[in-house]
Structure 1
Amino acid sequence: MTQGRPLLNRRLTEFGTTIFAEMSALAARTGSINLGQGFPDTDGPEEIREAAVRALREGKGNQYPPGPGVPELRTAIAEHQQRFHGLVYDPDAEVLVTAGATEAIAAALLALVEPGDEVIALEPYYDSYAACVAMAGGTRVPVTLRPHGGAYGLDLDELRAAVTPRTRLILLNTPHNPTGTVLTREELAAVAALACERDLLVVTDEVYEHLVFEGEHLPLASFPGMRERTVTISSAGKTFSFTGWKVGWITASPELVTAVRSAKQYLTYVSAGPLQYAVADALRLPDTYFDALRADLRTKRDLLSDGLAAAGFGVYRPAGTYFVTTDIRPLGGGDDGFAFCRALPGRCGVVAIPNAVFYDHREEGAPFVRFAFCKRVEVLADAVARLGALTR
């Protein structure tokens, strides 16, 4: 304590050590299979890894790269948006490279949110959203996705009711972590209409854009009136299984990119110089790569989902991402996801994440637990066998 004040900024006092750090440490301590944190246990394409090595050896990006990102990557991002989504962006004025999607979210909120502004986010939400809103001085307003008929859905009336004169922007995530929901064309059209009607900005986290198993991923920026009011965020980590590279990006109008860059330049300024060249190559991989990625993860989704159902969980089979949400109540041990996850390693040697950490309304997420299936098939099969102990 100094001057009678706590050391930590009061905006961050509610945020302690992340649940991911706690559960990963628990996995290491107990020798459990870690299906908590969402990172693959194999690297991405060898040719992309070699592209990074080649860039290092050729001296590409070893010194500060350009603030907006290397031109080769910005061009590849623009090409990707047109190739997969039909969206045309100027790589020089409408693309910004960031230190992963997490920095992109932070920079966007720091740039666009004033103290007192309200930010609507779909609950449950990725944990950095709340911290970034807090650091920007905003007020988060959760709109809860609720389970129904084996999936999570967005209540459009609840979303509309959440908008007030103080609402600045909607922070949207689809495909959605942790529920695996992929918002439909009708839902996105309603969000777009609301944003236009109430003159709202929208920041969209689309890092799982290529991990869709049912339905289709539709960028909100492709809807009428949204091109000029949407900051679209994605990254290389989830699509190419190089989560440690932390190469992300935004695409938006020149005015929005300029605003976000104004904040981003004082966060990392630049990062991952040589890796940016490799990610440029990755974005140009043939369709067969993206198709194989989806097929592989669909197989793993079904393996883990079927195993969880057999172990007695209520299972919400995801339409996208590489996470599956489960309901622990059918197992008969109560509805405390925190207690369940902390006991699970001792019971059967598997680690998961309690969904309640992703909620403002903790009671809404209390009985739900998230498992990651971005692991090798043999690891998932072992986890399924271990989870079978819950029914014995």
Structure 2
Amino acid sequence: MSRHKHDECHLPLELIGEILARLPVRLLLQLKTVCRSWKSLISSHDFTMQHVQRSAQPRLAYNCSRRIPMGATNYGVYVLNCSLPSLLYDEQQTRTKFVPLPEAMNRILQFSIEGSCNGLLCLSHGTPNLILTLFNPCTGATSRTAPTEHPSELGKSIYYGFGYDTLHDKYKFVMGSGRFNYLTTDQCGAKVCTFDATPSWKEIEHPVFPYSIQNGKGKYASGTLNWIVYDPTKDVVVGRNKLLEHREWFILTFQLEKESFGRLCLPIKNNDITHLDVPRLQVLKNRLCVSFQPLYTTTPCTYLWMMMTEEEYGLEKSDWTLLFTIPHGDGIPQQIVPLYISEDDLLLVYNPLGYSDRSLFVYNLHNGILSYPLLLSTKVPDGAFDLYHESLVSPSLFL
């Protein structure tokens, strides 16, 4: 009789998977010990990727600009992180604590975040040649190291990026440089590292159109890496000075599946807004976004556009929509960098010109209310932020 009741309460494995995919990583690691079927389910690749897509535990990581004491003798941690909900929802007026990455990474005396994807951070360390390491902050798992190989004939515009090739189920790191000569169309090379059983580099075809990189760190979205660039052949020159606000900006994009470059038009051109500042790329709600801030205007504001269709990524013409406009003033600084949008439209913003606990703030897109989260640290570093979600992805699976 009791066995019959037990059978009636038994849930299909598919339904169990749906429930477990909504749980945090720490709890899932404990639940792997419940039974063999749960351990097999939670350890499977399909469940891991399903959990990544449904992860609701975002965290914010950043590089420290100086060594942060972790005790009487330990000064070796250069990356801290914190929970995003603690920054967005500060109802109890408690200070948000930024903590170092797990102790397993403390052996690296100095390292930087080169990108994040599916819960993995791509870290680099060492000089003069950098060494790449994939690292899961939630599980503490690390990959084998992969020495970087700079492209030949490095120019002034160096770019790099880390992302996921969905088709081949591979994580890749791209590094290259573009140098334009006004007498010739001389271009430098590019290489891609595939994290596999034996991480390997190979040369890839480089763009033939002229461009110069504004920010070397690429943004990953929907299987592509993206950088803000400009066409140096169309700079407006007055005297000896190039006018920044009249540059022709566009997006250099790299498709990780095809390992090919392309270009994307921006949703708004310089001629549409007089004196345009440098556009900024972000990834919000898993979509590529670009923000604009007009210069020398009586009504300063920030426009943020979002790419709407994933099929458009990597194509020269794409469908953009204006997501919001934030007027400056009333506490809103003139230089802002959107970092994250919650489901209830709370926007976490970084102010690169801010000081101390005024570097980060929360803006309510519904009512325009501005608030500053309470920070336990006394100084937020210079904007090297990366967003990642809790994930079971193990770097060792690809090596």
TM-score by structure 2 length? 0.27
Counting strand residues as a fraction of each chain, which structure ranks higher?
A: 2
Counting helix residues as a fraction of each chain, which structure ranks higher?
A: 1
